[in-house]
Structure 1
Amino acid sequence: MPCRSSTPSDGPADPPATRPTVQRGTDMPLLVVGISVLILLFLMTKLRVNGFAALLLVAVGVGLVQGIPVAEIPDILSDGIGGQIGDTMLTIGLGAMVGRVMGDSGAAQRIAGKLLDAFGPRWVQVAMVVTAMLIGVTMFYEVAFVIIVPVAFTIVRVTGANLLWVGLPMSIALSTMHSFLPPHPGPTAVAATFHASVGLTLFYGLFIAVPIGALIALVWPRLPFVRAMNPSIPKGLVSERVFADEEMPGMAWSLSVALFPVVLIAGAAVTDMAVSGSNPFLHFVAFIGSAPIALLLTLLLAIWAFGPRIGRSLADVSASCTSAAQAMAMILLVIGAGGAFKQVLVDGGISDYIKDLTHGWPVSPIILAWLIAVILRVALGSATVAVVTASGVVLPLLAGSGVHPELMVLAVSCGSIAFSHVNDPGFWMFKEYFNLSVIDAIKARTTYTTVLAILGLGGVLVVEWALNVLNL
């Protein structure tokens, strides 16, 4: 894939473990996971321990209980943090800078104003869902998130709407696109394992992802327990200034800069799917279509377009970038610590335990693939381990089962999004950007990811039934 990056996203894009896992520790590793989550919640909610420190403390404790040698634990923590925030730091950092430069110039307000004019305040959620789905078809969750979220923040500031009322539909739509559909790395990798057609997987997946994602995106902000939350926009991520119409850049420039990384990343993804072989042109397309490079080029374009071109000094633009970087520091630390927690669970051999536990279950291959992915996702927080292990377990069952391999891909992929919670680095990104408490983040995100996975499985089973009826 041309734009793979390690990511704290919903979908299967986490970096794999850096060392072989072995079965070690207790005979009940799932109990260890459950207790570690409860301890983490206690530290953060009752004792008010900083999220970064709490995650590292719990990660060390899990490593000791699972029998990982003391000398190896620091290296595992470093691997987990490094693997999680390697490309993630580039993506989130550059995306935040682009968003702040657009916000401080009035470009984000221009786009937000046009969306409000086109859809009206009453339909702003529909605007966010449509935007997120169009952009999220080919872009990683976190890349699309950092591109769109400044517009969501600006809409909230201009209209006075609840942050989750505007931002949650965007996040849900992006989660759906990232988790269900190629060319995102999880579904693409599983398609290769099952020898499934990427094109057919995308075709079937759209029939499932679009209606389910839109339904949850529009329903979830209306639920009483979500409407009771009213978080504020995190400081430093959006301009506080309200611009007059004549002070803002034109819509053409504002939209062009916002869509520039979308064009680069989507173009590279489509080229990779449509063109085979190897030549310098394809390598160049893959290079500029990688998320960090696409966002770096976008930042350079934004600095000129919303700086000297409209009379702003480079010093002012640089101050916007610095402000964004300062605001991102704790977010990146917490995401990195989430990666460390996940890595300790992976290296503790929990995935091997679950693989052995589920071996031989007399269940439909589609349901078994989904269920194994769900269990691994809950235990480890790693979508990569979930999809790779689940696909490996059920691959022997696929031959002679009559199940379409494309539907197996979708079953594994949608299972890997379920129950996003404190061992998922993407959970912490969601929590920090929407300025939520841990409990509120669990109420909002863990519930929507779980329902999304369950309805996704239902959609896969419906498509399987339809294909069988049509004899396809």
Structure 2
Amino acid sequence: MTPLASEAAAWSGHDTRLIVAALVGIATIVVLITKLKTHPFLALALGSGVLGLVAGMPFGKLIDSFSDGLGTTVANVGVLIALGAMLGKLLADSGGADEIVDGILRRSGDRGLPWAITLIAVLIGLPMFFEIGLVLLIPVVLLVARRSSRPVMLVAVPALAGLSVLHGLVPPHPGPLVAISTLKADLGITLGLGLLVAIPTVVVAGPLFARVAARWVDATPPERLIPDRRDEEPGRRPGFAVTVATILLPVVLMLGRALAEIVLPEGSAVRSVLEVLGTPLLALLIAVIVAMFTLGRAAGFDRGRISASIADSLPPIAGILLIVGAGGGFKQTLVDSGVGKVITQAAQGASIPALVLGWLIAVGIRLATGSATVATISAAGIAAPLAAGLSPAHVALLVLAVGSGSLFFSHVNDAGFWLVKEYLGMTVGETIRSWSIMETIISVVSFACVMLLSLMV
């Protein structure tokens, strides 16, 4: 009997019920978010309940599964998100972000402007969430476009691409962190491969696509959003080099750990030190402590101001932590109900590669819900059983495949779509021809890079 026939023979009515439960649970989440405008936390919690009940889980076990998944996810990921928010807040409040912008723009000529904006977006996007980075960068983008007399889209698209790619593919952003935790991937390997995927993706979706977008769309941003910093006196800021070094510190520490585990023998003193320093929690904690001095103190902040800046970084991420936690609860409900195992068997029987399945699931949920984070969390939970037989490098690539799918074709059910539309003064059609297509390019190009890497590692 062939493997495919064996899988078909093993299929039961209970398996069909589990698949129906998964579809009904996901449909519940989609309807609640898109039609009833329910907060994603409540939508994920209610969707988990519907999934478990349709699957026949005892009510007590359903509650325990959701609670365990929520608690484990917040414990593993929540502190990392909080530390990333602290680092981003210190970067913004100290003037370090402005220093990066001004420093790179001083060093770029007129022809290199889109590439300079891309580099700015990548550096600022590393520690900052997409929405925060967007709010910070858009005034700079509009000002640079006006002063250089270049089309707005030629400057805006590279900035948007840089922020979006990092948001979907590179930790410590919430989606990648949750996928890493769910799929039990190595963070250092995922970070390294994520950067390899991110670089060509940003180039294609940023400066290169910007030339096309500038011909398709003639954006006219609201006049009130265009700042004029010519009369501003720059305050005391941290230096350019030290700001960049501070932002890259956790990335270097985590990559150092991954390289040490590959290159150095076990038991080596250097490897042991790098493994400890490259632990994600410790790497981000070190970066925050260093930033208190290299960014906070350098900007003239006293201890009270530094403490206030760190405290102010936490309230805005409360909603993110709730969504991430509920996503972990949804994932655990999928696993404990048996849905994940059934989907794995069906995928193996149909000979669908794990990377392709992860991307397709994320694309479907992204198109339905509009949320990249919800798409990543849900797709990672569904694809989790597929990671069991994969090598560490391929598990990391599965994380990136899910992240790639979560960015596919942002449209009217995505809050980011409307944020970009309003900031750049575009119509819905213009936003689709620029932002939506850019997001699709990011998704397709990054997934192509993932598949190429899967042949090499």
Same fold (TM > 0.5):
yes
Residue in 1 that maps onto 2:263: 274
Deviation at 1:263, TM superposition (A): 2.5
Q: Secondary structure at the match of 1:247?
A: coil
Deviation at 1:25, TM superposition (A): 5.7
**1:288-321 CA distances to partner (integer Å, 9 max, x unpaired)?**
2122212212222222233445432211111111
Match of 1:389 among 386, 397, 403: 386
More relative contact order, 1 or 2 (CA 8 Å, 6+ apart): 1
Q: Give the conservation status (yes or no) of the 8 Å contact 1:420–1:449.
A: no
Q: Secondary structure at the match of 2:405?
A: coil
Counterparts of 1:290 and 1:58 in 2: how far apart (Å)? 34
Residue in 1 that maps onto 2:59: 70
Q: Give the conservation status (yes or no) of the 8 Å contact 1:257–1:298.
A: yes
Match of 2:27 among 38, 63, 66: 38
Q: Give the conservation status (yes or no) of the 8 Å contact 2:115–2:158.
A: no
Q: Give the conservation status (yes or no) of the 8 Å contact 2:160–2:206.
A: no
Counterparts of 1:102 and 1:272 in 2: how far apart (Å)? 31
Residue in 2 that maps onto 1:169: 162
**Structure 2 gap ranges (5+):** 1-11, 143-151, 172-178, 223-228, 366-376, 409-413, 422-427
**1:100-119 CA distances to partner (integer Å, 9 max, x unpaired)?**
12211211110122223334
Bigger mean CA deviation after superposition, 211-220 or 273-282: 211-220
| Paired AA for residue 53 in structure 1 | L
Q: What does 1:343-422 correspond to in 2, within 5 Å?
A: 343-361=332-350, 368-374=353-359, 381-383=378-380, 386=383, 389=386, 392=389, 415-417=401-403, 419-420=405-406
**1:236-277 CA distances to partner (integer Å, 9 max, x unpaired)?**
xxxx9x963352222233223222222322222222221121
Q: Give the conservation status (yes or no) of the 8 Å contact 2:87–2:127.
A: no
Q: What does 1:241-260 correspond to in 2, within 5 Å?
A: 244-260=233-249
Residue in 1 that maps onto 2:140: 158
Counterparts of 2:77 and 2:219 in 1: how far apart (Å)? 28
Q: Give the conservation status (yes or no) of the 8 Å contact 2:94–2:238.
A: yes
Identity %: 23
Q: Secondary structure at the match of 2:313?
A: helix
Residues 1:385 and 1:40: Cα distance change in structure 2 (over 3 Å): closer
Counterparts of 2:394 and 2:299 in 1: how far apart (Å)? 52
Deviation at 1:285, TM superposition (A): 2.0
Q: Give the conservation status (yes or no) of the 8 Å contact 1:129–1:169.
A: yes
Counterparts of 2:220 and 2:345 in 1: how far apart (Å)? 44
Counterparts of 1:132 and 1:24 in 2: how far apart (Å)? 51
Counterparts of 1:433 and 1:88 in 2: how far apart (Å)? 26
Residue in 2 that maps onto 1:12: none
Q: Give the conservation status (yes or no) of the 8 Å contact 1:132–1:148.
A: no
Deviation at 1:155, TM superposition (A): 2.9
Counterparts of 1:80 and 1:307 in 2: how far apart (Å)? 36
Counterparts of 1:326 and 1:433 in 2: how far apart (Å)? 24
Q: Give the conservation status (yes or no) of the 8 Å contact 2:407–2:442.
A: no
Counterparts of 2:338 and 2:220 in 1: how far apart (Å)? 40
Counterparts of 2:398 and 2:99 in 1: how far apart (Å)? 40
Match of 1:100 among 69, 82, 89: 89
Q: Give the conservation status (yes or no) of the 8 Å contact 2:354–2:383.
A: no
**1:121-178 CA distances to partner (integer Å, 9 max, x unpaired)?**
8756534655788x89xxxxxx935389866643323333798762333332564577
Residue in 1 that maps onto 2:444: 451
| Paired AA for residue 346 in structure 2 | L
Q: What does 1:49-448 correspond to in 2, within 5 Å?
A: 49-119=38-108, 126-127=115-116, 129=118, 144-146=126-128, 153-160=135-142, 166-172=159-165, 175=168, 210-212=199-201, 214-218=203-207, 244-279=233-268, 281-361=270-350, 368-374=353-359, 381-383=378-380, 386=383, 389=386, 392=389, 415-417=401-403, 419-420=405-406, 447=440
Counterparts of 1:220 and 1:80 in 2: how far apart (Å)? 40
Q: Secondary structure at the match of 1:249?
A: coil
Q: Give the conservation status (yes or no) of the 8 Å contact 1:44–1:50.
A: yes
Counterparts of 2:439 and 2:54 in 1: how far apart (Å)? 26
Residues 1:116 and 1:209: Cα distance change in structure 2 (over 3 Å): closer
Bigger mean CA deviation after superposition, 213-222 or 79-88: 213-222
Deviation at 1:433, TM superposition (A): 12
Counterparts of 2:65 and 2:221 in 1: how far apart (Å)? 34
Bigger mean CA deviation after superposition, 410-419 or 87-96: 410-419
Residues 1:279 and 1:258: Cα distance change in structure 2 (over 3 Å): same
Residues 1:390 and 1:314: Cα distance change in structure 2 (over 3 Å): closer
Residues 1:250 and 1:259: Cα distance change in structure 2 (over 3 Å): same
Bigger mean CA deviation after superposition, 273-282 or 92-101: 273-282
**1:410-447 CA distances to partner (integer Å, 9 max, x unpaired)?**
9856644453289xxxxxxx96899689x999968984
| Paired AA for residue 37 in structure 1 | I
Residues 1:407 and 1:85: Cα distance change in structure 2 (over 3 Å): closer
Counterparts of 2:406 and 2:180 in 1: how far apart (Å)? 18
TM-score by length of 1: 0.64
Counterparts of 2:269 and 2:130 in 1: how far apart (Å)? 32
Counterparts of 1:371 and 1:386 in 2: how far apart (Å)? 10
| Paired AA for residue 299 in structure 1 | V
Q: Secondary structure at the match of 2:406?
A: coil
Residues 1:130 and 1:25: Cα distance change in structure 2 (over 3 Å): farther
Counterparts of 1:346 and 1:243 in 2: how far apart (Å)? 56
Bigger mean CA deviation after superposition, 214-223 or 265-274: 214-223
**Structure 1 gap ranges (5+):** 1-22, 137-142, 179-183, 192-197, 233-239, 396-404, 423-429, 465-472
**1:17-51 CA distances to partner (integer Å, 9 max, x unpaired)?**
xxxxxx99661544443443333233233323222
Residue in 2 that maps onto 1:468: none
Residues 1:24 and 1:275: Cα distance change in structure 2 (over 3 Å): farther
Deviation at 1:227, TM superposition (A): 7.9
Q: Give the conservation status (yes or no) of the 8 Å contact 2:276–2:282.
A: yes
